[in-house]
Structure 1
C-alpha cells in the first residue's frame, strides 16, 4: 500500500509521540508499536532504516539492554521525520503575528514532542510559567536542560515538577544570555525571536530552524552548558 509523504510523516510523528513506556516495550502494546515501525519503514521503502531497527529490536527483550536500544530506535524514527519535513517544507520557519499566542505555543510544542533523548532550552527569561506551559509536553524519558532563567521562580517550580513526575531536569547559569534557542537531541536547533514564555504576546515573532550554522551554535552552547554554574539539582 502506497502512502503519500504527508501520510508517512503523520504516521512517523504519531509513532514517536505515542511510544510506549520502556517497561511496556515487550508487552502487547510494545509489540504492536514495534510492528507499526517495521511497516512504516517498509512502506516508506527505507530498507536502511528498517535494517537498523531490526538490528536493535532484539535488545528490547532485555531489561538491561532496552535502556540503550530504545533511544537509538527513536533517533531512527526522528531521522525519517526530519528527512520528510525537509523534503516537503524545507527548514522549519514560522512567522507568528502579535497576539497569536496559541500559534506560537503550538509551534514550540510540536518541536518539543520530537525530542527522543535530550532537549536544551536557552533563554534568559525561563520561569515558573515556562515550566507549567512546556515541560508537560516533554516525554518522560527525555532529559531536559535549561540554560538561563529567572532562577528565583524557575528553580522551585522545576523542583516540584520533578518530584511529582519523576523526570530529569537540570538548570545551569552561564552568565549573560541574549538569544533564545531550543536544541533537540543535539541534532536539530530552532531559534525563537521572543522568550518562550512570552512568544507573540505583545509583538510579532519568528521560530526559525537553524541549518547552516547549526554545528557552531551547538558547540557554543554545549560549551557554555559545561562551564555553567549548576542551579538544579
Structure 2
C-alpha cells in the first residue's frame, strides 16, 4: 500500500461513525483503524490495542474517540507523504471552504469538459461549484428526475442567462432512480468519486473526493455517457 492508498483508506475509515453501544460493529471498525494506523505509527497502534482491552466495556465512547485521534494523526502523516494531486481529498465535517477548494482543484485540471453527476443537485451546484471551472470549459450537470431539488432547474436557467457562451453549461435529468454515484468526470477520461452530494458536502460529516482507478473510470465514463444521452434536457 503506497502513501496515496493509505491516505485514502485512513480518510474513509475516519468517515465512519461506529455505534459505541454495538460491540461487534465497534470492534470491526477498531480492527480496520488499528491495521491502518500501524502502517504509520506502531506506538499509536499499540495504544489502540491496549485501550481496547481496558475500555471496550467500561467506556466505549472514550475508546472510539481515542481511536479517532490516532486515525487523524496517521491521516496527517499520510497526507504529507501522498502525491500533491491526492492531498486534500479528505474533508473534515464542517469545513465548507475546504470542500470548495477540493472541488475547485479537480475542476481546474479540466482542459475541455467537466461532467458532474449527483442525484440530489440543487442551486448550490451552480452557485458554489460550477464557477470554479475555468471560463470556456464545457460543464455538464446530470441529476435525477425523481430526486433533483426544486431549486435546480431555475438555477440552471439563471446561470445560462447570466453567463451564456462565456461559461457553456448544459443540464439534464436522468430517468428516476437511474443514478447511483456522485461523480466528477474531467475531459471524459479522469473520474473522481465524491462520497456526499454537492449540496451538503462535508456539512455534517466527513467527506472525500477520490480519483477512480483508470479501468473503473473508463467503465463509468461509458456508463454515464449513455445515461447522459438518454436524459431529458432542462
Alpha-carbon contact 1:174-1:229 (below 8 Å) kept: yes
CA deviation after TM superposition for structure 1 residue 151, in Å: 5.5
SS at the partner of 1:213?
Answer: helix
- The TM-score, its normalising length taken from structure 1, stands at 0.58
Distance 1:136 1:90 in 2: 23
Distance 2:149 2:113 in 1: 21
Number of the residue aligned with 1:147: 142
Post-superposition CA distance 1:128-175 (Å, at most 9, x none): 122110122122211111110525311211211121112321111112
From 61, 83, 86, the counterpart of 1:89: 83
Distance 1:151 1:196 in 2: 12
Do structure 1's residue 117 and structure 2's residue 112 form an aligned pair? yes
Alpha-carbon contact 2:124-2:198 (below 8 Å) kept: no
Distance 1:185 1:124 in 2: 21
Distance 1:169 1:152 in 2: 19
State how many pairs are aligned. Answer: 144
Do structure 1's residue 159 and structure 2's residue 154 form an aligned pair? no
Post-superposition CA distance 1:57-109 (Å, at most 9, x none): xxxxxxxxxxxxxxxxxxxxxxxxxxxxxxx7187361222112211211001
CA deviation after TM superposition for structure 1 residue 197, in Å: 2.1
- The TM-score, its normalising length taken from structure 2, stands at 0.57
Number of the residue aligned with 1:31: none
CA deviation after TM superposition for structure 1 residue 208, in Å: 0.6
Alpha-carbon contact 1:91-1:209 (below 8 Å) kept: no
Number of the residue aligned with 1:179: 181
Distance 1:203 1:229 in 2: 32
Unaligned runs of 5+ in 2: 1-81
C-alpha RMSD of the superposition:
1.8
Post-superposition CA distance 1:106-130 (Å, at most 9, x none): 1001111111111100001111122
Distance 1:126 1:137 in 2: 16
Alpha-carbon contact 1:120-1:146 (below 8 Å) kept: yes
Distance 1:185 1:134 in 2: 17
Residues 23-172 of structure 1: pairs in structure 2 closer than 5 A: 89=83, 92=86, 94-148=89-143, 150=148, 152-166=150-164, 167-172=167-172
- Structure with higher Rg: it is 2
Alpha-carbon contact 1:148-1:173 (below 8 Å) kept: yes
